[in-house]
Amino acid sequence: MGRKKISLIGGGQIGGVLAQLCALRELGDVVMFDIVEGLPQGKMLDIAEVGSVDRFDACLKGTNSYEDIKDSDVVIVTAGLPRKPGMSRDDLIEVNSKIMTSVAEGIKAYAPNSIVIVISNPLDAMVTLCQKITGFPYSRVIGQAGVLDSARFITFIAWELGVSVKDVNAMTLGGHGDDMVPLVRYASVNGIPVMELLENKYKDKAKAKEVMDAMVKRTRGAGGEVVALLKTGSAFYSPASSAIAMAESILKDSKRVLPTCCFLQGEFGVNGYYVGVPAVLGEKGVEQILEFKLDAEEQEMMDKSVAAVKGLVDSMKL
């Protein structure tokens, strides 16, 4: 029985962290592809040389040839430009569409049986384009956004309440833009509603709502907050960890329930677009979408978020 094979398309900031995490967690052998000569080879050599220190067994290969991604189980795509301060994710659509087109053609030709996780932005548009060009089933082309957006929401809640992030559960749905939908009603600390805990803390319903609204706002703008600080690029540790959680569930067939950018065919009232929803990820990719009823306010936010996704995707004229 051979090891699993993970290919990373894009060897930049996120690609490097992805490769290191794959190795540290022994998820399988890893290939990193990039168009820049020497970059993927150098990064993979650098990581491989500490296998004895970090105690991992994995073959790591950097390449400029798509042939090397053949027989991949999972492909994670980060090829594309990141944003700079003042830019929205949507501003990247023109340049990253061209990059995604060539990447998807490479995946289609050399890794036709793989499950593809897209990270490149603007996410909802890039995953749509990737699926269109590869022609893979929708269940095998998905996007990473919700795991990270939810993790950010969880972090802010844990800091506010002074509890471990491990005991906070919360999720965001919708597109990976400023209209994403953090689900306040289901945010909990080991099942105890976060709103109830905030009301206990402040002894004031209005103040509790104000604090929650501020956390929702910060979650929506969290990517931009990092960009404004870094000035030269966007978040990279956190998107990498988030995509690895998805890849691990697929490679180990764990069937974790993770907010995933999935193609919807009627679920949550959306038809024919990729949108973030809770999905069961296993060896077949998206194995189930877990649908539930949104209340009127959540549905309104979801509709607004989906309208933004539609506007962006339709502008690509696929």
Rule CB under 6 A: is residue 12 a binding residue for ligand APR? yes
Cα separation of 286 and 47, whole Å? 31
Tokens of 101: 């087109």
Cα separation of 302 and 136, whole Å? 27
Rule CB under 6 A: is residue 80 a binding residue for ligand APR? yes
Is 176 designated active site? yes
CB count in 10 Å sphere of residue 245: 17
Rule CB under 6 A: is residue 11 a binding residue for ligand APR? yes
Query: What's the closest the beta carbon of residue 317 comes to ligand APR, in angstroms?
Result: 21
In what helix (H) or strand (E) does residue 301 lie, and over which residues does it extend?
helix 296-315
Query: What's the closest the beta carbon of residue 179 comes to ligand APR, in angstroms?
Result: 17
Cβ contacts of residue 225 below 8 Å, gap of 6+?
A: 218
Q: CB-wise, 134 or 234, nearer to ligand APR?
A: 234
Query: From the candidates 5, 140, 176, 220, which is the catalytic residue?
Result: 176
Residue type, 116: V
Backbone angles phi, psi at 235, to 5 degrees: -55, 140
Given 10, 62, 182, 259, the residue binding ligand APR (CB under 6 A): 10
Given 35, 87, 161, 226, the residue binding ligand APR (CB under 6 A): 35
Given 5, 6, 7, 34, the residue binding ligand APR (CB under 6 A): 34
| Interface size with ligand APR, residues (CB under 6 A) | 29
Tokens of 128: 């749509």
> By Cβ distance, which residue is nearest to ligand APR?
12
Rule CB under 6 A: is residue 222 a binding residue for ligand APR? no
CB count in 10 Å sphere of residue 116: 26
Cα separation of 278 and 275, whole Å? 10
Q: Which residues in the 239-298 window bind ligand APR by CB under 6 A?
A: 239
Tokens of 286: 């998206």
Just list the catalytic residues. 176
By CB under 6 A, name the binding residues for ligand APR. 9-15, 34-36, 39, 78-83, 92, 96, 99, 102-103, 119-121, 233-234, 236, 239
